[in-house]
Amino acid sequence: DGGITQSPKYLFRKEGQNVTLSCEQNLNHDAMYWYRQDPGQGLRLIYYSQIVNDFQKGDIAEGYSVSREKKESFPLTVTSAQKNPTAFYLCASSMGRAGANVLTFGAGSRLTVL
């Protein structure tokens, strides 16, 4: 079945450590996105990529980094510069731009900073 796989599902990090969240899709979608979800705040866009080797900052990119070396993969690194990284992280993809096309989401990764 086609879909998006996020790993790990749960991740614990000590303060000062970088962590990388994996996102892989086999939908042949061009665009991929990373969202952060906090209770009562909806989803906020971190980074998005509409094509391989290109990506743009979203609304809350500070303290995060991404790469898009392959169409199928869009890993997110949460760096030590991110002041409050504890959150639920969602990866999504779409055939074209999100504004006109439906997003398909992964199951999410929950990051907790100890």
Partner 1 sequence: AQSVAQPEDQVNVAEGNPLTVKCTYSVSGNPYLFWYVQYPNRGLQFLLKYITGDNLVKGSYGFEAEFNKSQTSFHLKKPSALVSDSALYFCAVRDTSQGGKLIFGQGTELSVKP
**Residue numbers 14-43 binding partner 1 by CB under 8 A:** 33, 35, 40-43
Residue 104 makes contact with partner 1 by CB under 8 A: yes
Residue 108 makes contact with partner 1 by CB under 8 A: yes
Candidate segments 11-19, 62-70, 72-80, 98-106, binder of partner 1 by CB under 8 A:
98-106
Distance of CA 70 to the CA centre of its chain: 15
Name beta bridge partners: 43. 37
Q: Which residues contact 64 (CB under 8 A, 6 or more apart)?
A: 34, 46, 47, 76, 77, 78, 79, 82
- Minimum gap (Å) between residue 41 Cβ and partner 1: 6
Nearest to residue 33, comparing CAs of 109, 108, 92? 92
Residues that bind partner 1 (CB under 8 A): 4, 6, 33, 35, 40-45, 48, 50, 56, 58, 88, 90, 92, 97-100, 102-108, 110
